[in-house]
Amino acid sequence: MVRLQSYLQDQWMPGEGTPRVLVNPATEEPLAETTTEGLDFAAALAHARDVGGPALRAMSFAERGALLKAMSRALHADREGLLALSSQCNGATRGDSKFDVDGATGTLSSYAYLGKTLGEGRYQIDGEADKLSKGARYVGQHVRLPRPGVAVHINAFNFPAWGTFEKIATAILAGVPVITKPATATATLTHRMIQIIVEAGILPAGVLGFVAGPAGDLLDHLGPQDMIAFTGSAWTAAKLRSGAGVLQRSVRINVEADSLNAAVLAPDVGPGDPVWHAFVRAVVKDMTQKTGQKCTAIRRVFVPTDRIDDVVEAFSEELAGIVVGDPQRSDVSMGPVATASQLRDCREGINLLAKEAEIVVGGPAPVSGVGVADGKGYFVAPTLLVARDADATSEVHRHEVFGPCATVIGYDGTAETAAAQVARGEGCLVSSVYGSDRDWLSSFLFAAASWNGRVQVCSEKVADQVFPPGMVLPNQVHGGPGRAGGGEELGGVRGMDFYTNRVAIQGDRGLLKKILGTP
Ligand code: NAP
């Protein structure tokens, strides 16, 4: 069996003790094993801080961008191998695998281009100098400097490629070395990608570390200039945020957590309208892409009460065409969820929602996967529930079923009620709204937008152009308030804020101009 090794202090390290076995979630066949016991994380952090950090800080944005470009190219060169591995290890169809793997190379490439446009600078000048005294001589200039620490990246199981490299791209461009840790269950794909980058000899020593499994005491050794960028459940986030080291040494932490994202159908849209088709496509795509294991997936679908039957009919027709089974087969359109515990959580979650909503498609019962021995694999049926009265719901706004499941919820058709219902999720990564009536949209947006990191407005003139709302783009902010974690990632140059310190430097205008290289 393949042994995944961690890559720390520029060396591969196998770990000690009893390894955990990772399986193909479609067949339950063992594929790899890993352990991180016995690894010296204090030494790994010190190496990244002392060797990787200075090397990156000495480089210009353009040079750091060139590293990202080389990483993107090296990974893309083995795209077919990575897509096959993703399908085998993560239960992902070829389409799902492309979403993850191409998302990684695309984001690296996007940040590489940003580095090129930022050019020869090594840090960012933040705005104009402020005059601080009566004369023109004494001024204050804000600058954003790379933090002289290490970025520890902790990722969720659902995006072992994209989740890893969207964070790495931003940190390296900002000038900060990284130790990245995927979720153990899906670490095999990340391991292969790190191997490719190491073998290509792209990065200076100390810039990239990789932990192939549990974090052990890694976070106990973080210092005041280190950072944690975390993606995962709100429960783990709360635990990490309240860690003694994080609190006592003000370790900076960014959290991307669960989210009960909403799609809202406005009352001016009905069957036959192009906006209606975009709405149906988006919801069904989000329910089934990556078997619904997407932090940005639509979980709550708000529909004017008199449209519920039409919506359920349209969704049901589309969902009937979904073939669940071994994702390595080309006739399968949805694979299993990633782990046995994920399967258990999905089934329990559907049962919980079914206490206040009616199951109209699918449900929690065991499913046999096409091309898989009976009783094997972590398969869940695409599941649609309906709650006709929004006021009679509570769990649908609270409990995230991290699988192919969404609930249609009736509302009275007013923008105010729709916005209030979206807000019941207490903070979403993204919501989408489908309608073209400007007054209605305006009322909705101003009331609902602040409960989201991103809002997609799908109206008549863009209905054939919008991406599914679940798609995260490198130049747009990803994150959300409240239960979504309160964090922010990506957003082009904004993404680097987390990895830099803003410092106001005050002094003689002429002297500062020369030192900082400002025009
Ligand atoms: P999880 O159980 O919270 O695990 C997330 C990561 O945290 C894993 O790498 C896990 O490592 C690590 N971890 C757990 N306990 C830790 C500890 N004490 N110290 C350090 N690291 C620790 O979440 P998950 O099940 O992988 O992911 C599913 C959740 O992530 C869903 O709720 C989903 O909504 C959310 N998510 C959010 C986003 C977003 O961008 N907002 C994106 C994707 C997923 P091990 O695997 O080794 O335990």
Residue 245 lies in a domain: no
Distance CA 332, CA 276 (A): 26
In the structure, which protein residues have their CB atom closer than 6 angstroms to any atom of ligand 1? 154-159, 181, 183-185, 213-215, 219, 231-233, 236, 239-240, 256-258, 295, 400, 402, 429, 485
Residue nearest to atom 9 of ligand 1 (CA): 183
Q: Is the pLDDT at 287 greater than 80, yes or no?
A: yes
Q: Are the C-beta atoms of residues 300 and 402 closer than 8 Å to each other? A: no
Do 494 and 448 lie in one domain? The reply is: no
**How far apart, in Å, are the Cα atoms of 200 and each of 48, 70, 79, 112, 195?**
19, 9, 15, 17, 8
Distance CA 259, CA 172 (A): 28
Residue 223 lies in a domain: no
Do 151 and 272 lie in one domain? The reply is: no
Find the mean pLDDT for residues 493-506. Answer: 97
Residue 424: burial class (beta carbons within 10 Å; 0-12, 13-18, 19+): middle
**pLDDT digit string (tens) for 385-444?**
999 988 889 999 999 999 999 999 999 999 999 999 999 999 999 999 999 999 999 999
Q: Is the pLDDT at 470 greater than 80, yes or no?
A: yes
Find the mean pLDDT for residues 264-287. Answer: 96
pLDDT of residue 403: 97
Q: Which residue among 35, 41, 153, 154 has the greatest number of ligand 1 atoms within 8 angstroms of its CB, and so is best to mutate?
A: 154
CATH of the domain at 148: 3.40.605.10
Given 3-state DSSP classes, what are the helix, strand and coil percentages for the chain, each rounded to the nearest 5?
Answer: 40, 25, 35
Nearest in space to 263 (alpha carbons), one of 124, 373, 425: 425
Is 256 an active-site residue? yes
Residue 230 lies in a domain: no
Residue 207 lies in a domain: yes
Q: Is the pLDDT at 473 greater than 90, yes or no?
A: yes
Q: Which residue among 164, 179, 233, 402 has the greatest number of ligand 1 atoms within 8 angstroms of its CB, and so is best to mutate?
A: 233
pLDDT of residue 471: 92
Residue 233 lies in a domain: no
pLDDT of residue 249: 92
Cα 86 from chain centroid (whole Å): 17
Q: Is the pLDDT at 1 greater than 90, yes or no?
A: no
- What is the DSSP track for 471-510? ---TTSEE--SGGG-S--EESGGGGGGGGEEEEEEEEEHH
- What is the DSSP track for 266-306? -TT--TTSHHHHHHHHHHHHHHHGGGG--TT-EEEEEEEGG
Distance CA 391, CA 99 (A): 36
Q: Are the C-beta atoms of residues 169 and 47 closer than 8 Å to each other? A: no
Task: Report helix angle 94-118 to 61-77, nearest 10.
Answer: 160
Residue nearest to atom 47 of ligand 1 (CA): 214
Q: Is the pLDDT at 519 greater than 80, yes or no?
A: no
Residue 70 lies in a domain: yes
pLDDT of residue 389: 87
Backbone angles phi, psi at 425, to 5 degrees: -75, -5
pLDDT of residue 46: 98
**pLDDT digit string (tens) for 112-156?**
999 999 999 999 999 999 999 998 899 999 999 999 999 999 999
Do 414 and 341 lie in one domain? The reply is: yes
pLDDT of residue 460: 95
Ligand 1 atom, smallest distance to 215 CA: 20
pLDDT of residue 332: 96
**pLDDT digit string (tens) for 26-64?**
999 999 999 999 999 999 999 999 999 999 999 999 999
Do 66 and 121 lie in one domain? The reply is: yes
Ligand 1 atom, smallest distance to 259 CA: 34
**How far apart, in Å, are the Cα atoms of 387 and each of 59, 310, 414, 489?**
56, 14, 17, 33
Task: Give the chain's end-to-end CA distance (angstroms, integer).
Answer: 59
Average model confidence (pLDDT) across the chain: 96
Find the mean pLDDT for residues 365-378. Answer: 94
Do 383 and 497 lie in one domain? The reply is: no
Name the residue with tokens 């990575």: 82
CATH of the domain at 285: 3.40.309.10
Total structural domains in the chain?
2
Nearest in space to 475 (alpha carbons), one of 114, 185, 120: 114
Do 402 and 470 lie in one domain? The reply is: yes
Do 111 and 168 lie in one domain? The reply is: yes
Do 162 and 290 lie in one domain? The reply is: no
Backbone angles phi, psi at 407, to 5 degrees: -125, 130
Do 387 and 271 lie in one domain? The reply is: yes
Find the mean pLDDT for residues 195-203. Answer: 98
Name the residue with tokens 């840090």: 123
- Percent of the chain surpassing pLDDT 70: 100
Q: Are the C-beta atoms of residues 275 and 460 closer than 8 Å to each other? A: yes
Assign 351 a pLDDT band (cuts: 50, 70, 90): very high
**In the 8-state DSSP scheme, what is residue 179?**
E
Q: Which two tokens stand for residue 3?
A: 């042994």
pLDDT of residue 517: 87
**pLDDT digit string (tens) for 172-190?**
999 999 999 999 999 999 9
Taking every pair of C-alpha atoms in the chain, what is the biggest distance, in angstroms? 82
Q: Are the C-beta atoms of residues 404 and 292 closer than 8 Å to each other? A: yes
Residue 504 lies in a domain: yes
Do 193 and 321 lie in one domain? The reply is: no
Residue 76 lies in a domain: yes
Cα 29 from chain centroid (whole Å): 27
pLDDT of residue 244: 85
Do 200 and 328 lie in one domain? The reply is: no
Do 102 and 183 lie in one domain? The reply is: yes
**pLDDT digit string (tens) for 55-79?**
999 999 999 999 999 999 999 999 9
Find the domain containing 144 and state its range: 2-215+490-516
Measure 445 CA to ligand 1 centroid, in angstroms: 31
